[in-house]
Amino acid sequence: MSDFNQFETQRRRLAILAVLSFSGGYRMPLRSIRDQVEQIGYAASPDRIATDCAWLAEQDQLAVNNGIAILNEHGRSTVNGWSATPGISRPTPGEIDDMKHAIVQAGIAAAQAALRGE
């Protein structure tokens, strides 16, 4: 894997954990994770998201049950920067807040487009 691909994979895995940390109950369907991660700026196929979630489950960051990913304590610790896991980027100061802001802004834009009938 090239350095850039490795970097991108590690960043996308952090984005997956972040998306789950923002969701109610720390859980979300894999297809919704894909949409949210894309709003942050990481385009990925459904298979890529499923593969990343399976890898994150192997690292004890989350569980996947019937197509639903559920963040656990280890994943919350990683996304908050309290612990480090090889293969997952550590968040920089303010980065997780920026990700949350991007998701909220995308949701607002989608709602406004729906109101305009687009």
Crossing angle of the two packed helices 95-115 and 3-22, in degrees rounded to 10 = 70
Among 3.40.50.40, 1.10.10.10, 2.40.50.100, 2.40.50.140, name the CATH number for the domain at 3-115: 1.10.10.10
Separation CA 62–CA 106 (nearest Å): 25
- Tell me, what amino acid is at 8? E
Report pLDDT for 1: 66
Tens of pLDDT along the chain (118 residues) come to 689 899 999 999 999 999 999 988 999 999 999 999 998 899 899 999 999 999 999 999 999 999 999 999 999 999 999 999 999 999 999 888 998 888 888 877 777 777 788 7
Domain ranges of the chain: 3-115
Residues in contact with 82: Cβ distance below 8 Å, sequence separation at least 6, in sequence order: none
